[in-house]
Amino acid sequence: MEHSTSAGEVDAYRLSGERCRALLARSSSGHLALSQGALPLVVPVTYALDGEQLLVRAGPFLIVRAPLPGVVAFHAGGSTLSDDCVWEIMVQARGEVTDDVPGPNSPPQLLFVAARLTTVLRISTELMTGWQYGDGAAVAELSACGEQADKQV
């Protein structure tokens, strides 16, 4: 875990790939960013971790509005139950539509959207960056953040 401090108020710790995957496995929603023409498009999504890949469920309009397969960015974040530690993870990779979704690793259904109106993308987690943040009182406990139950932001 790499450590850096900004203005003495918040300490930030860079997370290992293993720790990022462990945190991603505990959550199920995030945001997917892709390009629609020359403009960014960011949408809420649900996801599941499948080994080294994310399975991301989004509305079918993505296939029409954005070129896939293509480069995408994915962001998820959360905090510990006591809110003394916050984490953020960003994945940048190629996303492609898939019909090959393993049952237990299927992303949760999007709320208020019929199953037949969703699309699943497969995204590699090879290029992933993660950080944990805490205030001065929580700095000593940031390394223990992983042992606590996380909640989604």
**Domains, the chain, ranges and CATH?**
2-138 (2.30.110.10)
Written as tens digits, the pLDDT of the chain (153 aa) is 555 554 455 678 899 999 999 999 989 999 999 888 888 889 888 899 988 899 998 877 766 667 778 889 999 999 877 777 889 999 999 998 887 776 766 777 766 666 666 788 899 988 999 999 876 444 344 445 554 434 433
pLDDT for position 3 = 52
Task: Return the amino acid letter for 78.
Answer: G
Instruction: Measure the CA–CA gap between 123 and 131, rounded to whole angstroms.
Output: 20
pLDDT for position 113 = 65
Q: Is-above-0.85 flag for pTM?
A: no
pLDDT for position 135 = 63
CA distances from 20 to 59, 129, 132 (A): 25, 8, 10
The secondary structure of residue 16, as a DSSP letter, is P
Instruction: Measure the CA–CA gap between 149 and 100, rounded to whole angstroms.
Output: 31
pLDDT for position 79 = 85
pLDDT for position 93 = 93
* Strand residues in 51-118 grouped as ranges (E): 53-58, 70-80, 86-97
pLDDT for position 77 = 95
Burial readout 6-33 (b: 16 or more C-beta within 10 A, e: otherwise): eeeeebbbebeeebbbebbeebbbbebb
